Amino acid sequence: MQSRSTHFTTCNLCEAMCGLSVTVEGGRVSDIRGDRDDGFSRGHICPKAAALRETYEDPDRIRQPLRRTPSGFVPVGWDEALAEIADRLDSIRRRDGRNAVAVYAGNPTVHNLHALLGYAGFLRALGTKNRFDANSQDANPRLLTSLLLYGEQTVIPVPDVDRTDFMLMLGANPAASGGSLMSLGDVKHRIRGIRERGGKLVLIDPRRSETSEWASEHHFIRPGGDAALLLAMLHVLFAEQRVHLADVRKRAHGIEQIERLVRDFPPASVEAAVGIPQDTIARLARDFAAARHAVAYGRIGTCQQELGTVTNWLIDVLNLCTGNLDREGGAMFPRPAFDLGALGRKVVENHHGRWKSRVRGLPEVGGNLPAAVLAEEIETNGPGRIRALVCVLGNPVMSVPSSARLDRALASLEFMVSLDYYINETSRHAHFILPGRHALERSQYDVVFHALQVRNTAKYSLPVIEPSENTRTDWDILYDLSMRLGGVRTGLKVVDRALQLAHRLGLRPTPEHIVDLALRSGRYGNGFVPGRPGLSLAQLKSSPHGIDLGALSPCLSERIRTRDGKIDLAPQILVDDVTRVKTWLLQAPKQGLLLIGRRQLRTNNSWMHNCPSLVKGPDRSHLIVHPADAERLSLRDGHKVKVTSRVGQVEVTLSVSDEVMPGVVSLPHGFGHQQAAATLRVAGALPGQNANELTDDHLIDPLSGTAALSGVPVEVTPIP
Ligand SMILES: Nc1nc2c(c(=O)[nH]1)N[C@H]1C(S)=C(S)[C@@H](COP(=O)(O)OP(=O)(O)OC[C@H]3O[C@@H](n4cnc5c(=O)[nH]c(N)nc54)[C@H](O)[C@@H]3O)O[C@H]1N2
Ligand SMILES: Nc1nc2c(c(=O)[nH]1)N[C@H]1C(S)=C(S)[C@@H](COP(=O)(O)OP(=O)(O)OC[C@H]3O[C@@H](n4cnc5c(=O)[nH]c(N)nc54)[C@H](O)[C@@H]3O)O[C@H]1N2
Ligand code: SF4
Ligand SMILES: [Mo]
């Protein structure tokens, strides 16, 4: 008889962190379902959870290191690969300097305890200023706002969804995404709960998304119009004396500057460009101010645009001015058990513009340069040119703007390594591919997402399945490479001392050691006092459904890192940037078609299209165009069209629907795997094109370097 066992773990695919109950029979996963005892996700899962098994069993997933040879990729031993990689990287940096070796960290890095902690040490060992990550396609405007206002980029407000009465949601689609910078298990019931309690959810989005079905109201907005909308709402609040002035003055500097700024934005002056009538703007402002608990929340639609940082700033301003920042039912700050920000300035680098990209002079944000400059930094001759790249759990050829250019640039590198378990558009350029252990074979603590939860929680999960023979975790790989390149230094004194000691004793530190140290020294820990109760790894190990540490409570005074403990509400670079909002208002009505994206429940960025259960059924890669635009341009539903931007051109199938705003067209990203069809056999056979062949590496938010992947001017023409 085959052994049968049930294991509890956490889905690491999106930020919702759903609890899973996984049945293993005879060493194979036979069933994955929601863990009803998980206090947070309460049994909720989405179709991607079951696909964890598909990626685990996927015959295209690579399970041993590969070396590229003229006749294709061939298996190579771990030690041989690691020794040669360290040697090549070291000789390039000795010859051309440290910045000649670049790194790019993709999104799954933050979903993987082993990669996240290993990467922090690896960065120190490399010492390069050419660091890139997915945040310049994602959250940089939010991180920079937190850095400027609160002095700490990890101090990020999340909506207190369970207690709010009015949620203004801009540029987010949790019904498809599972929620982002707002970890909320059981997303559907939590968000729908707002209306069920008699509250309101107002959604602002250029597409009538899946989340609109949960909303009380949905309003189309012209892509990029959020900053103008928020300025106009603030104008109404100041004009009608609805701002909690005394309270704001106690907690922040700069309210007078805000009052002056918003005078120029009466709703009548923005309605045409934004696409929302002035009466609606005024009503939304009044409803927001009148609600007992209200919260404005913005996500990727407010980041992937040229006014991303200003927009994210104005969201916090609106919350503060109405008495809803760091208040129950408003925008609140979690108190994480493992607090990255509390680990010190070398772990989370709170600076902006300390160095700039060599060619275009764009500023670093928290130590990372915008990925939009990666191609030009590889292509442009001169001192400091990038000659080698280590790509950590990322697929920038599919995810970065002007992707065709990046594809060519990667092919020209002297040396490249990918930590990845697929041979895809990016890793095919690597000289070595190192596949870390699969999620089901490794432990997990979500360092980042417990710090973004709508309740304070902590959870550790053990591996579900015995690791396959001769596999290594991403921690093992990155730790080994770091030691070969000069040693791991996290910058955190206590951790570094422990690491040095362990190394001298011939012991290998593990992510578990770090999690335990961080938990015990954190705000719920016992501070290493024997006998004193407190959170530790041992306690989490005996709580496989996670631990609830309570509802969010006001704590900004404890977490803020500004000099005098007050919020810097009007940093000069943001105040100055409002002139770009004025320029936008003048130009917006003259723009032609604007391209936006479309996340779907059954996709996960660029890398899960190889799972048969997720891609079966109708083609989901269409370009959606509004009927009025289709008629004007003689475009027909179901026909092929050509989409052209400044940088590229793709041919895709058209869908005519009024779910998008007139003047807006929508194409999902992550499709278009034909060039990797030999090694991604399911994904490679799908229709669809890479949306980032159209997005533009010169269309960015200059403050944060974030790519404006949304709102890209395009032309659509019929193909006869
Ligand atoms: N047009 C457009 N472009 C976008 C976006 C958009 O909305 N529109 N969104 C942007 C956003 S928000 C993001 S975060 C980025 C994401 O972009 P990236 O982070 O660059 O790429 P991913 O598509 O997440 O690819 C992750 C890679 O990691 C590998 N991988 C996944 N899990 C593991 C693992 O556990 N171990 C190992 N070893 N490898 C693993 C996968 O095989 C894949 O190659 O895309 C951005 N690009
Ligand atoms: N199923 C699934 N889940 C995912 C992912 C995935 O690929 N698939 N990716 C994960 C990642 S990496 C991230 S970062 C999160 C993102 O999480 P979300 O931000 O919740 O995800 P999106 O569905 O991209 O929602 C963004 C919305 O912004 C709208 N939008 C575009 N431009 C504008 C604008 O200018 N203004 C306004 N107001 N709205 C605009 C879009 O139409 C879209 O509906 O999702 C995560 N979860
Ligand atoms: S919503 Fe889906 S992908 Fe996200 S954590 Fe839950 S099961 Fe995983
Ligand atoms: Mo993302």
Interval 586-602: pLDDT, tens: 999 899 999 999 999 99
The rounded Å distance from CA 150 to ligand 1 centre is 29
Query: 376 CB under 6 A from ligand 2?
Result: no
Those residues with Cβ within 8 angstroms of residue 173's Cβ, 6 or more apart along the chain or in another chain: 205, 209, 210, 211, 299, 599
Dump strand ranges (E) for 178-306. Answer: 200-204, 217-219, 252-253, 294-298
The CA-based dihedral angle spanning residues 579, 580, 584, 585, taken in that order and rounded to the nearest 10 degrees: -20
Query: CA 170 to CA 296: how far, in whole Å?
Result: 8
Residue 12 pLDDT more than 90? yes
Q: What is the pLDDT of residue 397?
A: 98
Mean pLDDT, residues 14-22: 98
The rounded Å distance from CA 266 to ligand 2 centre is 29
Residue 512 pLDDT more than 80? yes
The rounded Å distance from CA 719 to ligand 3 centre is 39
Query: 567 CB under 6 A from ligand 3?
Result: no
231 burial level (CB within 10 Å; 0-12, 13-18, 19+): buried
Element (DSSP H or E) covering residue 83: helix 78-96
Q: What is the pLDDT of residue 498?
A: 77
- Closest-CA residue, ligand 2 atom 30, reads 301
Residue 202 pLDDT more than 60? yes
DSSP of 31-67: EEEE-TT-TTTTT---HHHHHHHHHHH-TTS--S-EE
Q: What is the pLDDT of residue 490?
A: 66
DSSP of 84-101: HHHHHHHHHHHHH-GGGE
Mean pLDDT, residues 706-716: 98
Q: How confident is the model at residue 1 (pLDDT cuts 50, 70, 90)?
A: low
Between 122-126, 188-192, 233-237, 497-501, the lowest mean confidence (pLDDT) is in 497-501
Query: 708 CB under 6 A from ligand 2?
Result: no
Q: What is the pLDDT of residue 494?
A: 75
Query: CA 303 to CA 450: how far, in whole Å?
Result: 22
Query: CA 150 to CA 555: how far, in whole Å?
Result: 12
Mean pLDDT, residues 327-348: 90
User: Near ion ligand 4, which residues have CB within 5 Å?
Assistant: 138
Residue 501 pLDDT more than 90? no
Backbone angles phi, psi at 346, to 5 degrees: -85, -20
**Residue whose CB lies within 8 A of the most ligand 1 atoms, among 604, 605, 667, 671, for a mutation test:** 605
Mean pLDDT, residues 220-237: 99
Q: What is the pLDDT of residue 342?
A: 81
Mean pLDDT, residues 240-260: 98
Nearest atom, ligand 1, residue 12 CA: 35
Between 476-480, 484-488, 581-585, 656-660, the lowest mean confidence (pLDDT) is in 484-488
Query: 605 CB under 6 A from ligand 1?
Result: yes
Q: How confident is the model at residue 502 (pLDDT cuts 50, 70, 90)?
A: confident
The rounded Å distance from CA 274 to ligand 4 centre is 25
Q: What is the pLDDT of residue 491?
A: 67
Q: What is the pLDDT of residues 625-667, one digit of tens each?
A: 999 999 999 999 999 999 999 999 999 999 999 999 999 999 9
Q: What is the pLDDT of residues 23-80, one digit of tens each?
A: 999 989 999 999 999 999 999 999 999 999 999 999 999 999 999 999 999 999 999 9
The rounded Å distance from CA 42 to ligand 2 centre is 24
Query: CA 278 to CA 578: how far, in whole Å?
Result: 20
Mean of the per-residue pLDDT values for the chain? 96
Query: 51 CB under 6 A from ligand 3?
Result: no
Nearest atom, ligand 2, residue 666 CA: 42
Mean pLDDT, residues 278-299: 98
Residue whose entry in the numeric block shows the structure tokens 């275009």 = 360
Mean pLDDT, residues 185-210: 98
Judge whether 148 and 273 are in contact, CB under 8 Å: no
Judge whether 201 and 169 are in contact, CB under 8 Å: yes
The rounded Å distance from CA 403 to ligand 4 centre is 17
The rounded Å distance from CA 108 to ligand 3 centre is 13
Residue type for 625, please? Answer: V
Q: What is the pLDDT of residues 429-463, one digit of tens each?
A: 999 999 999 999 999 999 999 999 999 999 999 99
Query: CA 68 to CA 61: how far, in whole Å?
Result: 16
Query: 11 CB under 6 A from ligand 2?
Result: no
Query: 107 CB under 6 A from ligand 2?
Result: yes
Q: What is the pLDDT of residue 496?
A: 73
Q: How much of the chain exceeds pLDDT 90, in percent?
A: 93
What residues are paired with 325 via a beta bridge?
A: 331
State the Cα angle at 51 between 616 and 478, rounded to 5°: 130
Q: What is the pLDDT of residue 314?
A: 99
